[in-house]
Amino acid sequence: MAHAFRRRPDGSLACRLDGEEKAIISQVAQETADLIRADLGIDGDKDVLRRAAQSEDPLRRLEAEFAGRDARAPSDSAVKRLFPAASEDPELAAEYRRLGQQDLADGKLADLRRVMRTLDGTGEGHSEVVLDEDGALAMLRALNDVRIVLADRLGLQRDGDFDTVRMLQQIGEQVEDAEPSPDAEHVGSDIVIAVYELLSWLQESLLRALD
């Protein structure tokens, strides 16, 4: 069972998670990273382009420059929430994406990878998760991004909507052979709801410890 984050005497922040909780958080972090890469068209070619951009060959540098100009607009509804358009003007929005979307994506992917490395480094069983200040901020950002994806899958527009979703789920559990509800598609699976609750609690716990 998870234990809340607390500030330790050395300034680090620590909580305790069991093996299943760590595995779940790592899994949804990985799935969020995979979703971002797939929807934005980010793959292993990025490293090739970076090497080409640093090449002494001017033709390779020019090729890398043109290859990196286009930034794919998100098509997945959750990724649209993670990378919203910076302007209602399509041309300006496309220009903002070209200039900044890759850096934003790199930062989000780096946070998700850091969380996975941190959790993996604690072993498989129940153990303490220790973060320094930078690690705590990376954890907060990563948890927020994963929660945004899960909220999208649950059909939540605001945090307050989750109370309604939880209530609908509880009603559904109490009523046998209930007729399908028009809100059923927004309720989502029990697992997604449970993960969303865990991440929300962990994020709030970490925020309190930082304060």
| All structural domains of the chain with their residue ranges | 3-210
CA distances from 107 to 25, 167, 172, 183 (A): 18, 36, 40, 35
* CA separation for the pair 114, 142 (Å, rounded): 9
The label of the residue with tokens 């909780």 reads 21
SS3 164: helix
Amino acid residing at 36: I
What is the full per-residue pLDDT of the chain (211 aa) written as tens digits? Answer: 778 999 999 999 999 999 999 999 999 999 999 999 999 998 744 555 555 556 677 665 555 555 545 678 999 999 999 999 999 999 999 999 989 999 999 999 999 999 999 999 999 899 999 999 999 999 999 999 999 999 999 888 766 666 655 555 555 555 545 554 444 444 446 888 889 999 999 999 999 999 8
Q: Which residues of 178-197 are buried (b: 16+ CB within 10 A; e: fewer)?
A: eeeeeeeebbbeeebbebbe
Q: What is the pTM of this model?
A: 0.78
